[in-house]
Structure 1
Amino acid sequence: MMTFFKKFIPLIFFCLYFTSLAQAEKVFLVKVDGAITPVTANFVLYALKYAEDQKGKALIVELDTPGGLVDSTRDIVKNFLQSEIPVIVYVSPQGARAASAGVFILLASHLAAMAPSTHVGAAHPVELSGKADPKMLEKVANDLSAWAKNLAETRGRNPDFAELAVKKSKSITEKEALSMGVIEIIAQNVEDLLQKAEGRKVKVKEREIILKLKSAPLEVIQEDFKTRFLKVLANPNLVYFLLMLGLLGLYFELSHPGAIFPGVFGAICLILAFLGLSIIPMNYAGLALILLSGLLFFLETQITSHGLLTLGAIISLLLGSLILFGHNPPSLRVNQPFLITVVLTSAALFGGITYLAIKTLRKEPVSGKEGLLGKTGRAITEITPSGGKVFVEGEIWQAYSDVNISKDTKIEVIEKRGFTLYVKPLP
């Protein structure tokens, strides 16, 4: 038996070696589509770490972005520069772009490639940081320009384009990028990219690596549910809509206690909105104004202001909505037509609920303590100063009277004290 196993030991070791070798020769692919946010950055960094742990031959980042946040871009770029494996940024598919933040990500790659009918550029700091002050804008532009030039020089690419992309918002096609030395490859698809990258030399840290990717198996790193969920919540239009729904739901519950569903639904929407706001940079003054508008609408139901509180609430809602994401890049702001539509609709709904609440509060009571006063009924037992029972408005109540009232005598409710009625006999 031992002899039998000894014969197979070399074969087992060979299989283990072949399996590890096949695993080491993988090329990993991750797709980045949309604005560069903390969620996107975390996913890209996870993919890079996973590819490094698996000893992959390279990581391909298929990029299509309108831009994004500076801090998230810096996180990606820093990890690309410190990567243990080659990082290939591929602007794809056709019609894609590497705008704004995408320029820095492309420049930081070990090998840059673009698909036909794509473009790169327009990295002006207005799109990256949203600063409007001229002096601050100049400082940010100089800082980002130096950063872009440094990345281009580090990777042996055209530093002049890097500077123009930041300071002049220059944008170029894939053919111009190739001729100007901004990228190294134009590829039709990923398979074509692997073919054209074969044999090229790239510098990974202090090591020079010759790429051998042509026959390497390709593994796509898929987004997990958490990443997909947070990416959906990173949409400013959705976050703003959830915020409005949450406020409306809670306001309806406070104005009409006991409905339950609007309150629960509104609370869930608000929690999701706040989760989205923790991902997307926002102006806290804008959020405070929006919350203030809800408070003013509610106070309108409690205080007679002849519409002044409602007017203040609408103005507060509009101003808060405009500045909530006002300092963000265009891709991380609420679409203006959508914003105006939601503001007008929300103001109309808030106003309608306020009107119904005021109308309800001003109606003559038909139930409760006030609703029973003056109502007539019948004594179903003898009523004495010690107590008895009466039938009023379809309900049986405990009751008492200063005089004895015999059974089946008609009575009138004079006062309600807790759950006991004070009654007197009718003539």
Structure 2
Amino acid sequence: MTPAARLSAAIELIDTIDKERVPAAKALKEWGTAHRFAGSGDRAAISGLIWDVLRRRASSAWLMDSDTPRARLLGMLKLERGMDADGIAALCDGGRFAPEPLSDAERAALTSRSLADAPAPTAGDYPEWLDGYLEQVFGDDRVAEAVAMASRAPLDLRVNTLKAKREKLLHSLAHLGVTPTPWSPIGLRIELGADARNPGIHAEEDFIKGAVEVQDEGSQLAALLSGAKPGEQVIDLCAGAGGKTLALAAMMGGKGRLIATDHDKRQLAPIYERLSRAGVHNADIRTPKGEGDTLADIRASADLVLIDAPCTGTGTWRRNPDAKWRMRPGALEVRLKDQATVLDRAAALTKPGGRIAYITCSVLPPENGEQIRSFVARHPEFAVVPPEQTVTALWDRAEEFSAATLQSAEGLLMTPRRTGTDGFFVSILRRQVS
């Protein structure tokens, strides 16, 4: 397919997503099935166009003064891809399989309009109902923060230190263009271009042998900030597919007791194979059964309880731009209740002197600082460990990292704009010894 034909296909797909109200991933999969002549490069390029339009949906429509699929695509090409009117016109020449030529109004919009007077939610490409929350945490910087949250994310990998060292993997994965992550001492990064296909990490020998896992640098840092140590009793209370469980196991060096569970046993399904591949032998997976408490034998004895909390996922918009436009206020209310429940459960499991690591991939205050303040009010036996103390003892660039984060009395916040990671909030709470 020509670049122009890819644009036409993207416009058609955006129209389908709008009219049928289907998730973008589903629409892309069905399009690929129906258009088998399209090669993998074509499918990757069209996917990239669709995701970029979703990233800049509101701002592109504003720029073009029109909210049609075509207008959003044209506006995105200028705002996200940096193309000028002449470059866009060269693709939209009306030729075979190409979009129709630019109208006078479209060329004028691409040439003269800007986002200077756009409302914050439009310029930042997020739902209007979230504006108050983002203003609360970012103030006048919320548009800049949101624009960074709408940008394309790199592919980050975590080195499994139970099996390998980063220096070795930098060599063995050099053909993928890996570089060290800026902050995490165990991370590798692959930058992806606009039309790039995701590299086949799962087919790499290093992945098959368990030396490396896919994990955003922010998620790696959140696990490191928990301070898990060899010999401790550690509980991963919302383990899901096991990303943080694997990171904790590596931090513990195979020594101590690691217990992983989740309220939804379906989420745990991939964890067994992942732990086996990673060479983890000290993990106990507790699968929920009926109404019984899977952790009934553990009361006030854990050194660390890690909560990778169920949340709105606003910090991961770079990877799932479709989600922000489908999010509704009711989803936040549900998550707040879930978070309070799991925090209260963690409190009962933590021993005196032990700690809770509360983590969200959200930037919204109700899920972060406000949730922690409410927890401490319910459980005055817990106190927040100051963020600077949590960071200082961990790695060489701790001071720079600490300065890059947004810190409060309740914890620290990483964001794409500040740290180049997904958005993660981390709070460490220690149970006082009576």
- TM-score (structure 1 length as normaliser): 0.25
Whichever of the two has the greater Rg, that structure is: 1
- TM-score (structure 2 length as normaliser): 0.24
